[in-house]
Amino acid sequence: MPGGIPARPAHVLLDVAPLSDESLLAGMAAGDAQAAAAFVRRYQARVYGLALTIVGSPATAEDVAQESFVKAWRHAAAYDARRGRVATWLLTITRNTAIDAVRYHREAATDPDVLLGVLDGRGEAPDPQASDVDTSEQLRSALRGLPREQSRPLVLMVFYGLTAKEIAALDGTPVGTVKTRIRRSLRALRQRLGVADA
């Protein structure tokens, strides 16, 4: 159109890589396709990694990861930065979606002891790219230092969404014992991270 503002060629993309998580999420909420693509690219390894850690099957993990991004996209406008980081928010969505996949679709989950080995670093080397490396490595080390009888029920609750009662039934342990072990494990982890109890 003579005299008009030339349209940006389709191949010229805005550089969205440096944008914060919050900005990308806001872009997604506003329907910005580039922001959505950058957001997916930034988080796909973490989202898929968590899904795979819980469900064990690559095909199911991809379904879970895809559903998690769709949920995040749907609810992006409702994200409240005061209630936590984007990574935490997105991975909580992923965790819940993976738990739903295991429960409602009767998918076989990763063996809890294998999962524990992956989390505490016995399974593979620590990830140098993870954010808050110090905290994560301290926590990984602290988890490794816990007796298996304490770390296992904690992992069953946090990653498989099991209640103390369900863990008790699964492991043939009294409910009170399960609760005590979980409380002790949490206390030990908090102390290791330097957080004092009230």
Partner 1 sequence: MPETPQCAEVRDLIPELAAGVASGDERARVLAHLAGCAACRHVLEETAKLVDELVLLAPEHEPSPGFESTVLAALQPRPVRPRRPLPTLVLRAAALLLVAALSAGLTWWQGRDDRDLAARYRHTLSVAHGSYLTAAAVTTAAEPQAGHLFAYQGSPSWIFVTLTAAPQSGVYDIYLVTTDNRTVPAGRCTVADGQGSYGVTIDLPIRAIQRVELVMPGAPILTARLH
Q: Site residues for partner 1, window 4-43 (CB under 8 A)? A: 28-31, 33, 36-37, 40-41
Residues 104-143 that bind partner 1 (CB under 8 A): 104, 118-120, 124, 127, 129-132, 135-136, 139-140, 143
Please, what is the minimum distance in Å from the beta carbon of residue 100 to partner 1? 8
Task: State which residue, 23 or 66, has the beta carbon closest to partner 1.
Answer: 66
Identified binder of partner 1 from the candidate list 16, 24, 50, 55, rule CB under 8 A: 50
Residue 50 near residue 95, CB atoms below 8 Å: yes
CB half-sphere exposure, 173, CA atoms < 13 A? 19
* Type of residue at 102: V
Q: Does 163 bind partner 1 (CB under 8 A)?
A: yes
Residues 78-97 that bind partner 1 (CB under 8 A): 78, 84, 87-88, 91-92, 95-96
Please, what is the minimum distance in Å from the beta carbon of residue 1 to partner 1? 23
- Looking up tokens 């808050």 gives 132
Residues whose CB falls within 8 Å of the CB of residue 48, separated by 6 or more in sequence, listed in order: 61, 62, 65
Identified binder of partner 1 from the candidate list 105, 122, 148, 190, rule CB under 8 A: 190
- Please name which of 144, 41, 46 lies closest in space to residue 91, comparing C-alpha atoms: 46
Residues whose CB falls within 8 Å of the CB of residue 14, separated by 6 or more in sequence, listed in order: 34
